[in-house]
């Protein structure tokens, strides 16, 4: 057996694994939040994405407020307008782990200052949830946030952690499926992961997938809202995730509309999740307006729901 071949195969697998694992990226902020920005908190019905910025020679994680990255530093809240936003490109499951000073495994590092690593954390404060920076002080870790012009230090917080599964070699043969996706007319592209906020729109041919990539919700070419179990998906060019094979497990209706028309779903400012067609307008709505709906999500067990700013479900009834 040629000893070079195993070496080549190993190198290919390492590269593919790296491309799968490199799905968390720091993206420069340019006028608006990028798609799939990691949302770390909420305040006054406003989502707070996770950011980091260079300040005084170090990279500090914080929260996006309006068009700036707010951090705590030197006892004050600093507002930095040149910064990066954390984006989940896919195939990475994230969770927030409660801590009283410990650092859990797989905590996500965002920077270093004076030799101390800084990680991404968040705290509940004054009715909101605020992303900030975690670092070691003495024997324990603490979380600092910027709030109300001040730097606040809290010893009870949550840590953002990343879960990675080890892909099987056969699962890495996705290139051919990507190249030949035109042969599968039923494929769709992942548009959003986990949830969408108000005024977000998902067009026909795209979907919202659960963080564990086991389920998706989308509008079909016959105008229905469906939940599907994902049976086969692949990482394609530059981080795009293509869904190839699914099994429908729920639909909002059995009525099928004209497949020649173009449908999309939108989570509206009034808290309604609605389906429209480009040609005829209104098709269906969740009738959830007036319930303080904050975002629309699909969970890791395949439930779709609209939740309020405190995380409580307001739809379905």
| Mean pLDDT confidence for 4-8 | 36
Q: What counts of helices (H) and strands (E) characterise the chain? A: 2, 27
Question: Which of 163, 186, 205 represents a domain boundary (last residue)?
Answer: 163
Q: What is the pLDDT of residues 220-232, one digit of tens each?
A: 999 999 999 999 8
User: pLDDT value at position 84?
Assistant: 97
Domain boundary among 94, 128, 163: 163
Residue 286 lies in a domain: yes
Tokens 């070691």, located at residue: 136
Parent domain of 177: 173-315
**What is the spatial distance between Cα 105 and Cα 85, in angstroms, rounded to a whole number?**
22
Beta strands at 128-137 and 140-147: parallel, antiparallel or unpaired? antiparallel
Cα–Cα distance, 120 to 26 (Å, whole number): 13
- Span 242-251, mean pLDDT? 92
In the chain, which residue ranges form alpha helices assigned H by DSSP? Answer: 4-21, 175-179
- pLDDT digit string, tens, across residues 209-218: 987 788 999 9
145/83 same-domain check:
yes
Residue with the larger pLDDT of the pair 201 and 89 = 201
Confidence of residue 12 (pLDDT cuts 50, 70, 90): very low
CA–CA separation, 317 and 230 (whole Å): 26
CB atoms near residue 11 (< 10 Å): 10
223, part of any domain: yes
Domain end marker among 134, 163, 192: 163
178 and 302 co-located in one domain: yes
How many Å from the N-terminal Cα to the C-terminal Cα in the chain? 64
Asked if residue 122 lies in contact with residue 158, where contact means CB atoms within 8 angstroms, the answer is yes
**One domain, residues 138 and 177:** no
Instruction: State how many domains the chain has.
Output: 2
3 occurs within a structural domain: no
pLDDT in tens, 15-60: 333 333 346 889 999 988 887 788 888 887 788 999 999 999 999 9
pLDDT, tens digit, 9 for 90 and up, residues 139-190: 999 999 999 999 999 999 999 988 654 343 334 334 466 766 555 667 888 8
With beta carbons less than 8 A apart as the criterion, state whether 306 and 314 touch. Answer: yes
Whether residue 152 is found in the same domain as residue 203: no
Best CA proximity match to 124, nearest among 102, 150, 145, 103: 145
**Residue 99 sits in the same domain as residue 127:** yes
């Amino acid at each position: 057996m040629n000893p070079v071949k195993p070496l080549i195969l190993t190198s290919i697998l390492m590269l593919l694994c790296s491309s799968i694992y490199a799905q968390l990226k720091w993206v420069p902020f340019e006028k608006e939040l990028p798609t799939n920005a990691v949302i770390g908190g909420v305040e006054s019905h406003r989502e707070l994405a996770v950011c980091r910025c260079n300040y005084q020679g170090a990279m500090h994680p914080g929260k996006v407020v309006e068009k700036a990255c707010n951090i705590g530093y030197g006892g004050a809240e600093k507002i930095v307008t040149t910064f990066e936003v954390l984006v989940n490109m896919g195939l990475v499951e994230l969770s927030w782990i409660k801590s009283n000073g410990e650092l859990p495994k797989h905590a996500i590092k965002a920077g270093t200052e004076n030799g101390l690593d800084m990680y991404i954390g968040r705290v509940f404060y004054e009715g909101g949830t605020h992303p900030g920076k975690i670092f070691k002080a003495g024997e324990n870790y603490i979380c600092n946030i910027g709030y109300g012009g001040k730097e606040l230090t809290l010893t009870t917080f949550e840590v953002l952690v990343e879960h990675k599964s080890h892909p099987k070699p056969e699962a890495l043969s996705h290139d051919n499926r990507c190249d030949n996706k035109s042969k599968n007319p039923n494929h769709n592209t992942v548009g959003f992961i986990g949830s969408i906020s108000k005024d977000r729109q998902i067009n026909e041919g795209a979907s919202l997938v659960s963080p564990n990539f086991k389920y998706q919700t989308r509008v079909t070419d016959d105008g229905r809202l469906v939940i599907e179990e994902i049976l086969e998906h692949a990482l394609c060019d530059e981080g795009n995730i293509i869904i190839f094979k699914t099994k429908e497990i729920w639909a909002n209706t059995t009525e099928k509309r004209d497949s020649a028309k173009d449908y999309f779903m939108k989570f509206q400012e009034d808290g309604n999740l609605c389906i429209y067609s480009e040609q005829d307008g209104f098709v269906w709505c969740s009738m959830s307006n007036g319930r303080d709906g904050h975002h629309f999500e699909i969970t890791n067990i395949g439930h779709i729901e609209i939740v309020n700013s405190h995380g409580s479900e307001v739809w379905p009834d």
